[in-house]
Amino acid sequence: MREAHAHIAQLGRSLTMVDLSGCSSRDEALEMLAGRAGVMSGDQWVLAHGARPEGWVDASGGGARWMTREELDEACGGRAVCVWCFDYHALVGSSRALKLAEIDGGTRFEHGRVEVDGDGAPTGLLLEHAALALWGAVPEPTEKERHGVVRQACAHLKALGYDEVHDLKAQGWLGSVLSDLLAAGEVDQRFALWALREDLDALMGTRASWDDRVALGGMKIFVDGTLNSRTAWVLERWADAPEDRPFGTAMMSHEEIEDSIQFAKEREVPIAAHAIGDGAVRAVLDGIEATGTQRTGHRIEHAELVDASDVARFVEMGVVCSVQPCHLLADIEALKRGCPGRLDRVLPLRELIEAGLVCGESLFFGSDVPIVRADHRDSVVAATLRRREGMDESEAIGFGQRLTEREALACFGV
């Protein structure tokens, strides 16, 4: 099988972090974090992922909310703490973490937000580039540790049946590390690597030493945010979005998209564009058309919402649609709150196939691991049932867009 959208190094790191994906309340999450902090020594960070605050319920029966930095301070004894939302586009940090990252209530980010309380002090919640700024303060694995991190991630994916893995945010060193592991017989898979613009030249500079099972895919760009954070760029306003970003957040302008495509074209590689909302999907398709780079291997990743008028453009322009149906299983409630009138536009898989995309050739499935787990069965369930197992058919999202099991498996290259 092919895992068409993974983050290998981040997966390896996540396997050692506190996993909050099974928590049903904020108190339960804080208890897990306190437990990890209690066995740590020195000035080590407490790192966690998988938080789904929209699904948390207070012990008193109240609504869901993130924990605050003060609650993290108390639970973890003042340690530096970083708790990622499952989508890795938002996190909450402790007071010490914010201090180490030099973030306070007055810090501003062009494509990010520092949430503040009534007194203008940071609550600890950071969105998009603000979250990345705090993560930048977390110590990176050493050069020696990288091999262990990558080895562990590859073994995890191999155990799930993946013989081919596409990394959609490859670090400049990843190709060399994978090649070392392949040469040593510690890894036995094929890889395609897509790097951010700032990492692309460094990655390309190491290709001469790569194993022939490692290939350069191209360049990755981020055009919008995420659905759960309501930062996905949409054509029709979110029903429950803050007034200052009713259509989500465009992380790139049309001019920046075109410039990035040209940058990749000069290096003779295609782009893979993170575009979750239908506004972002259209902007990428427009950028490809404007630069005259149709049918050169470009991909759009996620495409969780696609306007009906843009479906056929994927086929006409030779753009691969690389989606992660498994996200639907966690997003059902958020979709119903955020775009109740457009649920038929969520992952329009049937329409994409009828327009001419071919399962496994121009319509890819992946997971976005470690955002969610990489088990292919989750995407098969989501693509065929359009709801969680056990749910009534009336709870399905876009039931008319469902695929057969055979089609879903073919999208994994089976």
pLDDT recorded at residue 21: 87
pLDDT single digits (tens) 52-100: 887 787 655 556 789 999 999 999 999 999 999 888 889 999 999 999 9
Cα separation values, 35 from 28, 48, 55, 144, Å: 11, 12, 22, 28
CATH value of 2-8+144-410 in 3.40.50.620, 3.40.980.10, 1.10.3080.10, 3.20.20.140: 3.20.20.140
- Place 412 in a pLDDT band, splitting at 50, 70 and 90: very high
Domain 12-135 class in CATH: alpha beta
Q: Tokens 């990176």 appear where? A: 140
Whether residue 304 has pLDDT greater than 70: yes
The whole-model pTM stands at: 0.85
Contact 135, 82 (CB under 8 A): yes
In the chain, ranges of CATH 3.10.310.70 domains: 12-135
What's the CA gap between 249 and 229, in Å, rounded?
10
Helix (H) or strand (E) holding 165, with range, is strand 164-167
In the chain, ranges of CATH 3.20.20.140 domains: 2-8+144-410
pLDDT single digits (tens) 3-55: 999 999 999 999 989 999 889 899 999 999 999 999 998 889 999 998 988 77
